[in-house]
Amino acid sequence: MERELIGVISIVFLIVLLLSRMPVAFVMLVLGMSGIAWIKGLSAALGAASTIMYGTFANYALVVVPLFTWMGYIGYHSGISEHLYEAAYKLVGRLKGGLAMATTMACAAFGAICGSTTATSATFAVLALPEMKKRGYNHSLATANVAASGILGVLIPPSVIFIVYASITAESVAKLFIAGIFPGILLTLLFLGSTYVVVARDPKKAPPGPLFPWKERLKAVAKGGIEVIIIFVAVIGGLLAGLFTGTEAGSVGCFATLLVVLARRALTWKGFIDSLKDTVRTATMVMFLVGAAAVYGEFLGLTRLPMVVADWVVALPLPPSIIIVAVLIILMGMGCFVDALAMVLLTIPIFYPAAMSLGFDGTWFGVIMTLALGMGVLTPPVGANVYVVYAVDKETPVMDIFRGVWPYLISLWICCGILLLFPQVVLFLPNLIR
């Protein structure tokens, strides 16, 4: 049988097994090993799977995944996230939709120390949802806002997604981190805009919160902001100044965060242990997925399907920007059904070569892929952030959360459009350094 056809058959099986509630990592492992066995024999499949698993686990570039995850959990268990929310709450809570806006702003700030999108959403589901509900917020709006704002956690550096993307494509982590800053700010503003429009159309959805005197507001901002600013400046500043590399920034970031929270006596021994335990669970989940996806990716490489698709896409008689829009639509479609990280892992081997042949910048494409992932974690039926929010707040039905998500999806599309028309938004900062 033609190898390309074997690749296509595997994709059919992929969908079937995913729908049968088999854990995504095992689906990819099983299909990758079976596929390699089909093409190259049993011993080749076994050899490939074991060396790839070892290669993923003992990988210098990927060790930052647990570290940037830990950084976020230290922030959570030491109350940094709480201070951030309080600051944003006191600052803009008075406005219509102000509490939702405060959540978005706090997520963006928390993104500066947390590398994971689900961790960001989970953190603020705990902090912000009770407050919004107490003030009579529409549940659908409140939960969707938290789910969407979590995306800022992977767009604003540090970002686990950028690290994984860089490890597959050999793009520079440092460049991707820097490149994420402006799009992160842009998306924050667009999310604020989404909330504003929703509330302007139906003010009952988001009654204003209490008014705090300016002195109290400034005090809260100082208290909440200072920790994050110190950590962010230490990590990103050190990275920019060439004090350490993007890979080392994970360890330096954890160390800086620990120093800050210890100086403020904000972290208990129990909090420290809990932060590590949460990290082991999250990081192992991500890395097992990455390893399994690498086995499946190896198989796809052997089928030559990615190369065939890339050649086909490049040969299309369409302008490159239209092709990228098509890629985004495919990703969004896939993102509905496949776990977003798994989707990025599965499609990078196919779309990255295509994007490169079309002449796009690898850093820019990394940001675009991250935005596509952002759509994936929000869209039904499989939207990780929505389920994370649901896990924290069982009161709001999942479909209600999904129903509230569309204004934020529009923001994500607008953000992609702006980056497509003005790639400088992404590339300005990285080019400045070069």
Partner 1 sequence: SAPASARKRIQLDFATFWPAGDFQAGVGHKTWMKIIADRVKAETDYEILWTEFFGVHPAKLLDGVEAGTYDVGTSGPGYSPGVFPLWAGPEFPAEAHRKNAYTMSLTLQALHEQVPELQAQFAPTNMKLMHFWSTGPGYFLMTPGKDVRTLGDFAGKTIRAGNPASASTIDALGGEALFAPMSVALERFEAGLVDGILCPTDTPKGFGLGSYVRHVTFAPFSYHFVFFKVMNRGTYDGLPESVRAIFDEVNAEFPAYYGKLRTWGEADGLEYMKELEGYTYYDLAKENPAEYAKWVAATKDLIVEWIDGDSTKQAVWDKFLELDEYYNTTPPYSTWTHSWPTKPEPPSWEK
Partner 2 sequence: MNAFDKVLQVITEKMALVAMFAIVACMALVVTDVIRYQIIGKPVPGTHEVVELIASVILSMGIGYLTFVRGHVAVGLLVDRFRPRVQAFFDLVTGVISLGFTIWLTDGVVKMAVRNYNYKWVTGVLEIPRYPFIYLISLALAVTCVVLLRDVIKSVIVLRKGGGDGA
Q: Which residues in 247-276 contact Na ion (CB under 5 A)?
A: none
> Which of 21/394 has CB closer to partner 2?
21
> Which of 10/138 has CB closer to partner 2?
10
Helix axes 340-357, 24-40, angle to 10 degrees: 50
The amino acid sitting at 134 is K
> Which of 267/377 has CB closer to Na ion?
377
Residue 383, contacted partner among partner 2, partner 1, Na ion, none, CB below 5-8 A by kind: Na ion
In sign, the C-alpha dihedral spanning 192, 196, 198, 199 is positive
30 near partner 2 (CB under 8 A):
yes
6 near partner 2 (CB under 8 A):
no
Is residue 80 within 8 A of residue 227, CB to CB? The reply is yes
Instruction: Please identify which residue in 8, 11, 26, 322 interacts with partner 2, judged by CB under 8 A.
Output: 26
Give me the 117-156 binding string for Na ion, x by CB under 5 A, dash otherwise.
Answer: ------------------------------------x--x
Is residue 197 within 8 A of residue 407, CB to CB? The reply is yes
3-state secondary structure of 237: helix
How far is the CA of 288 from the CAs of 2, 52, 62, 175, 208, in angstroms?
A: 30, 11, 12, 26, 44
User: Considering only 81-89, 119-127, 156-164, 272-280, which stretch makes contact with partner 2 by CB under 8 A?
Assistant: 272-280
Single out the residue of 425, 355, 434 nearest to residue 175, CA to CA.
Answer: 434
DSSP class of 247 = T
d(CA 137, CA 132): 5
End-to-end distance of the chain based on CA atoms, in angstroms?
48
Residue 335, contacted partner among Na ion, partner 1, partner 2, none, CB below 5-8 A by kind: Na ion
111 near Na ion (CB under 5 A):
yes
36 near partner 2 (CB under 8 A):
no
Is residue 81 within 8 A of residue 123, CB to CB? The reply is yes
Residue 418 CB neighbour total at 10 angstroms: 16
Torsion angles phi and psi, residue 377, rounded to 5: -75, -5
Residue 289, contacted partner among partner 2, partner 1, Na ion, none, CB below 5-8 A by kind: partner 2
Give me the 372-411 binding string for Na ion, x by CB under 5 A, dash otherwise.
Answer: ----x--x--xx----------------------------
Query: How many CA atoms are closer than 13 Å to the CA of 411, on its beta-carbon side?
Result: 29
Residue 384, contacted partner among partner 2, Na ion, partner 1, none, CB below 5-8 A by kind: partner 2
Residue 216 CB neighbour total at 10 angstroms: 11
> Which of 288/364 has CB closer to partner 2?
288
> Which of 204/281 has CB closer to partner 2?
281
User: Considering only 154-162, 168-176, 269-277, 356-364, which stretch makes contact with partner 2 by CB under 8 A?
Assistant: 269-277
DSSP class of 382 = S
Instruction: Please identify which residue in 9, 39, 63, 230 interacts with partner 2, judged by CB under 8 A.
Output: 63
> Which of 60/269 has CB closer to partner 1?
60
Interface ranges with partner 1 (CB under 8 A): 3, 36, 40-41, 43-48, 50-52, 55, 60-61, 170, 172-175, 239, 242-247, 298, 301-302, 304
289 near partner 2 (CB under 8 A):
yes
Shortest distance, position 272 Cβ to partner 2, whole Å: 9
What b/e readout covers 354-373, taking b as 16+ CB neighbours within 10 angstroms?
A: bbeebebbbbbbbbbbbbbb
Q: Which residues in 107-126 contact partner 2 (CB under 8 A)?
A: none
Residue 266 CB neighbour total at 10 angstroms: 18
The tokens for 286 are 């991500």
User: Considering only 137-145, 205-213, 281-289, 401-409, which stretch makes contact with partner 2 by CB under 8 A?
Assistant: 281-289
What b/e readout covers 36-66, taking b as 16+ CB neighbours within 10 angstroms?
A: bbbbeeeeebeebbeebbeebeebebbbbbb
Is residue 157 within 8 A of residue 189, CB to CB? The reply is no
Shortest distance, position 175 Cβ to partner 1, whole Å: 8
Residue 102, contacted partner among partner 1, Na ion, partner 2, none, CB below 5-8 A by kind: none
Residue 70, contacted partner among partner 1, partner 2, Na ion, none, CB below 5-8 A by kind: partner 2
Residues that bind Na ion (CB under 5 A): 111, 115, 153, 156, 158-159, 335-336, 376, 379, 382-383
